[in-house]
Structure 1
């Protein structure tokens, strides 16, 4: 359900900021916390095919209008006069309540040399007719650039956006997004993109009941991306955090994910920007476009690896009952050459990784109590004792086997271990681990697409 709403928001943003939002998508996507004990309910159909087709058509019409223009000031001015085709206008009006969604206009004022625009989207309810509807309050948008057309600053606020369906809903509240980017001669944008969301709330009703109750809530979501140039190389920084995750009677106080990638060739970023720009202007079917995008991103990933890029996991952590479990580490490759990408085993042997994991014993006990409580009848007179005994048994098993097996140590009531990967070998707390052949074969048969953090907003060209 979360992905559905985000897809709608992103599709809308494409119309709002002349194609810049596509590359800002990671920053505009408030990622949920790492694995939670429950997941929002899935919907059979979020956007009907006609809605998706209309949004794609609108995006393509704007891309054709932009052509090869790279000057932000000229693109913004062009958008103030841009009209969608007569065939598309009534379809857009059905979805957004207007034929020109996210219209902007130039306004006076501001620092000398700065060109300012304001715009937004009026409140509206879109009834799709497939059981899933969308409604939102007024969205306000401010944009500015300089006379050279090399800077882009955006500020937007959106009080609420809601998806409703029979028996449930999802709402995103207090949305704010800010971007600050400066584009170089190679049209790569360097700067930051920040999004804050007050809350994301999932509501559902039990089978056969008309009463809708809150099923899950995310509070205080914040996502940030930052791209910095350092000579011939660039650094990509990404983080997201959630202040609280509530599901049923349980509450995770916070979750955090922060990482950065160093030694990213600026030339590779420039080529990526150009290739995605050229693809935007190409007339391709959906599947062909997906395949081309995957190839473009895979090639970019290969160039980062061969250039010696290193992924640093600065912080993956979550707090429960005041106890924090965390992971930190780094991943890189040793002297990879082009031939390695066609030799899975050779590539795996060049991975160099180091991870540090810390889990408070108290956290293991608290989680164990939750699961033990689900298997004990609360009406029993000794229910509390049974739950405690079950939790203690789990702690003894997890901590005992980890320590006695040499896979970790307990320091200050915290279970700690170090995982290293080098020369195709894996060690946990210094002890060699044999990776099952089935795991390697599954990776070899179905390699996962590389997840490459996106730069700050790039201009469509």
Structure 2
């Protein structure tokens, strides 16, 4: 859940979560790209240019969103960006925004992208069904309800393909007296299939749902995030009921927004991977408020199932009280991290995985094993693996579960209260002289 200026672009949210066309969204991805010195594809560049022009319309996105939406109604991309979009998508705008009918006392806007199929000269085809979305607000711009649907979106390249189906988005937000958007929202993708050029599914993700909520308590905000996947299918195997649910509690929104704004401004001047580190004053301010307020990332659940057995992780990550010197380098910062994770893995899950690996290895050698032999081998592997973990003191068995508690504090890592040696840092050239 983000502030209204970002919630408004339903189509952008859907495009941005499309792996084939989104500009890289994480610092890790951008850093990897910078290291590899790879230039983005012309299609990604066209999308990024259009996205930036839309972001410029919104500015900071603060205040009543209705005037900003009215600007979108009149907005037209620059001539260069229109040419790029036409060349790589077959359209001259990502979507159109028009006023729509609304109940008395409210205003509404329709967001539409007509169905389209476009083929590049290199043979890559992009195709999507009609995208329809609607935003409804009270005239004061305090309450905003959004919904959208996109039946399908696909890319077929020379070597690979991707298809997203049954995409929906909903949100219900209220703007607080401090100009923070509170409420719930999320989206669902019924199916994501990655395959080869013929469209055969190499990996299928079934029923991906992401929900978020923002709650305000005593001048602080809690941001919740819950991602669920019904199944991930690959190479004849299936992982079920994947979930990642977390909350960032007691967030100082002023410090958070200042950091976000500083990073966005730096990204226009330098590589995004460096922009995060360059926003040092805001980063220090946000870190200090996190430590002072007790801001924490609460991991309610990280889980995944295999053949009826579920592994789970829960925990908490926070910061100890900090000074400016703690931001001098990564090593100093890491020492201020405080984390605790409890991991539970059913012994039956370990046995199932061991059995699958054993069976597939035997088949690959042309020596398939009988079910009884696989079961016996997998039990032996399980006993050996679990025994090693327990004997070493890094875990324990409780109620047919392999359990361990991972803790990190003062730069020290422990598993089941036993310290684990951290990798030694390589000396810098200057230090080694």
Q: Give TM class, smaller chain.
A: 0.7 to 0.9
Q: CA RMSD in A?
A: 3.4
**Is 1:306 matched with 2:298?**
no
Q: Name the counterpart of 1:452.
A: none
| Separation in structure 2 between the aligned mates of residue 86 and residue 314 of structure 1, nearest angstrom | 48
**Is 1:324 matched with 2:303?**
no
Q: Secondary structure at the match of 2:230?
A: strand
Q: Secondary structure at the match of 2:287?
A: helix
Q: Name the counterpart of 1:106.
A: 99
| Separation in structure 2 between the aligned mates of residue 213 and residue 159 of structure 1, nearest angstrom | 20
1:116-158 deviations in whole A, cap 9, x for unaligned? 1113101111223334331101110101222223443321100
Identify which of 79, 83, 86 aligns with 2:72.
79
- In the alignment of these two chains, the number of paired residues is 402
Identify which of 178, 181, 185 aligns with 1:189.
181
Which consecutive residues of structure 1, in runs of 5 or more, have no partner in the other structure?
Answer: 1-16, 32-45, 206-210, 446-461
TM-score scaled by structure 2?
0.81
Q: Secondary structure at the match of 1:217?
A: strand
Q: Name the counterpart of 1:292.
A: 275
Identify which of 352, 366, 371 aligns with 1:366.
352
Instruction: Please show how residues 144-155 of structure 1 align to structure 2 within 5 Å.
Output: 144-155=136-147
Q: Quick one: structure 1 residues 115 and 407, their matched pair in 2 at CA, closer, same or farther if it must change by over 3 Å?
A: same
Identify which of 382, 387, 398 aligns with 1:400.
387
| Separation in structure 2 between the aligned mates of residue 90 and residue 344 of structure 1, nearest angstrom | 43
Q: 1:249 offset after TM fit, Å?
A: 1.6
Q: Name the counterpart of 1:12.
A: none
1:169-194 deviations in whole A, cap 9, x for unaligned? 11010001112333345543223330
| Separation in structure 1 between the aligned mates of residue 382 and residue 307 of structure 2, nearest angstrom | 16
Identify which of 410, 419, 422 aligns with 2:406.
419
Q: Secondary structure at the match of 2:362?
A: coil
Q: Secondary structure at the match of 2:140?
A: coil
Q: Quick one: structure 1 residues 170 and 400, their matched pair in 2 at CA, closer, same or farther if it must change by over 3 Å?
A: same
Q: Quick one: structure 1 residues 400 and 197, their matched pair in 2 at CA, closer, same or farther if it must change by over 3 Å?
A: same
| Separation in structure 2 between the aligned mates of residue 400 and residue 283 of structure 1, nearest angstrom | 50
Q: 1:202 offset after TM fit, Å?
A: 1.6
Would the aligned equivalents of 1:143 and 1:152 in 2 still touch at CA under 8 Å? yes
Q: Quick one: structure 1 residues 47 and 164, their matched pair in 2 at CA, closer, same or farther if it must change by over 3 Å?
A: farther
Instruction: Please show how residues 14-93 of structure 1 align to structure 2 within 5 Å.
Output: 20-21=8-9, 29=17, 49-66=41-58, 70=62, 71-93=64-86
| Separation in structure 2 between the aligned mates of residue 354 and residue 322 of structure 1, nearest angstrom | 27
Q: Name the counterpart of 1:341.
A: 327
Would the aligned equivalents of 2:162 and 2:199 in 1 still touch at CA under 8 Å? no
| Separation in structure 1 between the aligned mates of residue 43 and residue 18 of structure 2, nearest angstrom | 23
* Displacement over 6 Å in runs of 4+: 442-445
Q: Quick one: structure 1 residues 314 and 63, their matched pair in 2 at CA, closer, same or farther if it must change by over 3 Å?
A: closer
| Separation in structure 2 between the aligned mates of residue 283 and residue 426 of structure 1, nearest angstrom | 34
Q: Quick one: structure 1 residues 436 and 243, their matched pair in 2 at CA, closer, same or farther if it must change by over 3 Å?
A: same
**Is 1:166 matched with 2:158?**
yes
Q: Quick one: structure 1 residues 52 and 220, their matched pair in 2 at CA, closer, same or farther if it must change by over 3 Å?
A: closer
Q: 1:105 offset after TM fit, Å?
A: 1.4
